[in-house]
A and B are shown apart, each in its own frame.
Chain A
Amino acid sequence: MDRRGFFKKLRWFFYALFGAVLALPALSFVTYRKKRTRTVVFTVSEQTDHYFKQGVFLIREGEAFSALSAKCTHLGCTVRFDQHKKQFVCPCHQSVYDAVGKRVAGPARDDLQVLPVTLRENRDIEVVVEV
């Protein structure tokens, strides 16, 4: 490359840079996503072990409650709970998690997300999920 060629490439480089600066606001705008949450309420009759509602599994151990997200950590399909094997299985690519959401087998790498659980005065349980 000679000097002229270098400066031509440099000019185009700066055009690209300027273009990026111009595009920045547009890209920022277009890619913004409002953080939204959904509250799933489990009434007393729904507070059985591994109860599924609106994308959340309620886990009950005696009187202790916890919640797991039903979204598979691989590519997002909704897992189902196998009552006999006591495991979560994802129908899409067969990722497997144990009864408390720990990853056991399959292409998924992370455990199922644990969700915060709140007990209300009227004995309802509320779980907040990010949408």
Chain B
Amino acid sequence: MRYNRGSKRFLQQTQKVMAKFFNKTSLYLPRLSLAALIICLVSGVVLAFQYRPFGNVFQNVEEITTLVPYGFFFRRLHYASGEVFAILVLLHVADYFFRSAYKRQSFFDWFQLGLGAALCFFILFTGFILQGGLEGYFAGTILRNLLELIPFVGSAASHMVIGRGHAFYFLPYLYHCCFLPLGLVFLLRKHIRDWLPDWGSMTVATMMLFIYALAVPMPKALPPGAETSFITGPWFFLGVQELLRHFSPLWAGLFLPALFAALFLSLPALSGVWARVARYTLLTGAGVYAVLSVKLYFF
């Protein structure tokens, strides 16, 4: 019937447009994210000249934000570009996950890329700690205590990641500026060459981030001695925070995230039923995590 044929063609055309859009998105997402990464690295280098990860770190950060000339700009730029980089990486990974890209890659390659994606978020997390406010201080403390829960190697692991006493911020600083970015670049070495940003992506990313840094103020921070009845960590760990409110730290903080990561990284090695189980488990897990995050933030 003509009605059916017409609607069938409409459906086909919509699908074509959407496919084109998604293909375009797939092309530019990673380029934009790498552009953001470059901006983050450059602004980070500039900030490193004034940032000191010892003594009164909160005072140091506040002075960068309000006293040092152009400090507000570089701080906002570094913060925004870092967040944009991580969000775009997440979208890029989701994009290729939905397309079952893991089926076409070797386990080794997928493993490196997945680990690299995880590293992105730990770079952001160490950056969150380094802000020196109450949120960052508690986030670091929680990480230290979670690491101590690891059987056998817990104490050693926590000593390697967060310092004690006055050296609290120094180790996260080394991770944030040196170890993790180097690790990231190493793990993604081939990938970076493939997705190096073109001038168009660079312009768009720079322009958007620059305008953001001129217009949007940094979120206000609580001084480390302040009293508050409710505090949240970084947005990407809100789900874990919500889990930690209800379940034991070992399960909510270590085991479940590790399980999720293990499942994600092992995707290329699975086949048949197991692959489908893993895929749907991961999707459900991500969905639940999103719901928990929203619940904690808004309710």
Contacts and interface: CB of A to CB of B under 8 A. Distances in A.
B74 A34 contact: no
A5 interface: no
Interface stretch (A24-32, A46-54, A73-81, A92-100): A24-32
Contacts of A28: 69-70
Interface in B55-70: 63, 67-70
Nearest to A31: B49
Interface string B87-115: 00000000000000000000000000000
B4 to A, nearest CB: 60
Contacts of A34: 63, 67-68
Interface in B240-254: none
A78 B67 CA distance: 31
B271 interface: no
Interface in B25-55: 46, 49-50
A30 B73 contact: no
B46 A26 contact: yes
Contacts of A26: 46, 70, 74
Contacts, number: 27
A30 B74 CA distance: 11
A30 B64 CA distance: 11
A18 to B, nearest CB: 14
B69 A29 contact: yes
B71 interface: yes
Interface in B177-232: none
Contacts of B70: 25-26, 28-29
A90 B1 CA distance: 103
Nearest to A24: B70
B177 to A, nearest CB: 16
Contacts of B74: 25-26, 29
A74 to B, nearest CB: 27
Contacts of B71: 29, 32
A130 B134 CA distance: 31
B50 A32 contact: yes
Interface string A1-41: 00000000000000000000000011011101010000000
Interface of A: 25-26, 28-30, 32, 34
20 contacts: A25-B70, A25-B73, A25-B74, A26-B46, A26-B70, A26-B74, A28-B69, A28-B70, A29-B49, A29-B50, A29-B68, A29-B74, A30-B46, A30-B49, A30-B50, A32-B50, A32-B68, A32-B69, A34-B63, A34-B67
Given A25-B70, A30-B49, A34-B68, 18 more contacts: A25-B69, A25-B73, A26-B46, A26-B70, A26-B74, A28-B69, A28-B70, A29-B46, A29-B50, A29-B68, A29-B69, A29-B70, A29-B71, A30-B50, A32-B50, A32-B69, A32-B71, A34-B67
